């Protein structure tokens, strides 16, 4: 799934101009049990300098949020971890998640990722289908009860 520059969809930094709007984004109510809030994710990113918070825009409208980390002081140095990928409720079901994932994989590859890992609730069928269609292979359930999936971003 090579992500080319897709018209209308972009990843941008989270900064003073958009941070409050990013914190306010939420998925559908039924999905909120699957993902930490963006406010929690932003707090996590502030504590770890190897994390990258990205706002997802459709044209000039904020539509989602992603958080990933480059290699930290421990672990595989060729692996990035996608911690969050969410689209606000009104932006789901239009292919934006798939397009945003492609751009995120490209960005991680440009930062040196040879491998990307992510975790999701095993009963989150939308996430499971999205990641499987992008070539992520499930590796099993971790100690926190989340499914780990891995892929090379190429």
Provide the b/e sequence for 66-93 (b: ≥16 CB within 10 Å): bbbbbbeeeeeeebbbbbbbbbbeebbe
* pLDDT, position 74: 62
The pTM assigned to this predicted structure is: 0.86
Which region, left, alpha or beta, applies to residue 139 given φ > 0 means left and ψ of -120 to 50 means alpha? alpha
Q: What are phi and psi of 13, to 5 degrees?
A: -65, 155
Q: Using DSSP, state whether 130 is helix, strand or coil.
A: helix
* pLDDT, position 35: 80
List, for residues 121-145, the tens digit of each pLDDT value: 999 888 999 999 999 999 999 998 9
For the chain, percent of residues with pLDDT exceeding 90: 53
Q: How many Å apart are CA 61 and CA 132, to the nearest integer?
A: 28
List, for residues 51-73, the tens digit of each pLDDT value: 999 999 999 999 999 999 987 66
List, for residues 78-113, the tens digit of each pLDDT value: 789 999 999 888 888 788 989 999 999 999 999 888
Q: How many Å apart are CA 115 and CA 113, to the nearest integer?
A: 5
């Amino acid at each position: 799934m090579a992500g080319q520059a897709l018209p209308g969809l972009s990843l941008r930094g989270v900064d003073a101009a958009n941070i409050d709007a990013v914190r306010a984004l939420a998925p559908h109510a039924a999905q909120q049990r699957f993902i930490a809030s963006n406010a929690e994710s932003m707090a996590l990113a502030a504590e770890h300098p190897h994390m990258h918070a990205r706002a997802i825009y459709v044209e000039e409208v904020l539509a989602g949020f992603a958080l990933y980390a480059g290699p930290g002081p421990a672990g595989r140095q060729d692996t990035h971890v996608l911690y969050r990928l969410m689209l606000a409720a009104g932006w789901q079901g239009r292919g934006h998640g798939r397009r945003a994932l492609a751009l995120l994989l490209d960005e991680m590859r440009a930062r040196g990722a040879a491998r990307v890992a992510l975790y999701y609730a095993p009963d989150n069928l939308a996430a499971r289908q999205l990641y499987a269609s992008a070539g992520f292979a499930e590796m099993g359930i971790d100690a926190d009860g989340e499914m780990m999936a891995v892929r090379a971003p190429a």
